[in-house]
Structure 1
Amino acid sequence: MMDFLLRGVRPGDEARVLELVVELAVYEREPDAVKASVADLTAAFFGVPAAAECLVAELGGEIVGIALHARNFSTWTGKTGLYLEDLYVSPSARGMGIGRAMLVELARIAVARGYARFEWSVLDWNAPAIRFYESLGARMMDEWTVMRVDGEGLRALAAG
């Protein structure tokens, strides 16, 4: 088995990160949902201020995993948290502990930065992911449901 390397995203990685985002969207049954571009990711990762961060996993010099994350804030704790937007490992690199290693590294980042929480969403039909997350100590927030306004609904709401 080959060793993998975890590192922060670097300029030039954006196209590969976007490819993996698209692979994730296909897996999540939303193949046409990705509207982001390489330029969008460049601005998000390297703009001032950066809107997001990305941990990547390299295997044999190729990026095979991503963990895109950003800060959030809890008024209840009065502290910042880490929100994981996307975690994905290419099928060819699964079973090597990459996903677990990425979550451990993100937890370390959260602790080192003094964040109060590390949270993410998971599709309710993705039983393997749910079992995996629970095996790491994550718990379902059963009483909470994600709400979203986007597209035309967002524009209509903004119009008052």
Structure 2
Amino acid sequence: MEIAQAGPADRAALLPLLAEMGRFYAERTDAATLAAAAEALTTSAGRAGPFCLVARDGTGFVSLSGFFPAFDFTWGLLLKDLYVAEAARGTGVARALMTGAMRFARERGYTRIDWTTDATNARARRFYAGLGVVPAGKIFYRVTGEALARAAAGAWPEGNAA
């Protein structure tokens, strides 16, 4: 299976995968949103990315973004999404994409890849355990929507003061 960095020529092939992923996560799947996502994933903004690796058979992709600093003031990668078309799950596509992501990191001088999964996503957790990867023990935080607007104005919720 060929895994390669996606470029502008891969945008059309990404659209059905992005649409399926959007439906899976109950996200927007209108044509304009999907086209903008495909463009963003295939237009790298330098060392920070984003980067997208695709299975050339159209069965999946992995998206990555660079971050600095990682350990010893080096560059790391955040694996944002690993998505395999439902019809191709269990066929080795995810493993090939993960291997491709690790190769991408090593070849380009990134020193680590971090990612998250929902605690309730047992299938993903089994997959990562099957790769021999154990959770890092970090706690993940997120601020979005109206809470982001309030926090940006300095109006943090009571009870969250440290």
Q: TM-score range by the shorter chain?
A: 0.7 to 0.9
Q: Distance in 2 between matches of 1:78 and 1:34?
A: 38
Q: How many residues are paired up?
A: 151
In structure 2, which of residues 128, 135, 142 is the aligned counterpart of residue 148 of structure 1? 142
In structure 2, which of residues 35, 40, 43 is the aligned counterpart of residue 38 of structure 1? 35
Q: Relative to structure 1, is the Cα distance of residues 44 and 7 closer, same or farther in structure 2, using a 3 angstrom cutoff?
A: closer
TM-score, normalised via structure 2 length? 0.77
Q: Relative to structure 1, is the Cα distance of residues 85 and 48 closer, same or farther in structure 2, using a 3 angstrom cutoff?
A: closer
Q: What's the CA shift for 1:120?
A: 0.8
How do 1:99-138 and structure 2 match up within 5 A? Answer: 99-138=94-133
Establish whether residue 97 from structure 1 lines up as the match of residue 92 from structure 2: yes
How do 1:4-43 and structure 2 match up within 5 A? Answer: 4-27=1-24, 30-32=25-27, 36-43=33-40
Q: Distance in 2 between matches of 1:32 and 1:112?
A: 33
- Where does residue 52 of structure 1 map in the other structure? 50
Q: Relative to structure 1, is the Cα distance of residues 108 and 37 closer, same or farther in structure 2, using a 3 angstrom cutoff?
A: same
TM-score, normalised via structure 1 length? 0.78
Give the aligned CA root-mean-square deviation in angstroms: 2.5
Q: Which has the larger radius of gyration?
A: 2
- Where does residue 152 of structure 2 map in the other structure? 158
Give CA-to-partner distance per residue, 1:54-94, whole Å, 9 cap, x none. Answer: 000122xxx11110111123454321111111111112223
Q: Relative to structure 1, is the Cα distance of residues 75 and 117 closer, same or farther in structure 2, using a 3 angstrom cutoff?
A: closer
- Where does residue 67 of structure 1 map in the other structure? 62
- Where does residue 158 of structure 2 map in the other structure? none
Q: Distance in 1 between matches of 2:44 and 2:120?
A: 35
Q: Which amino acid aligns with 1:71?
A: G
Identity of aligned residues (%): 34
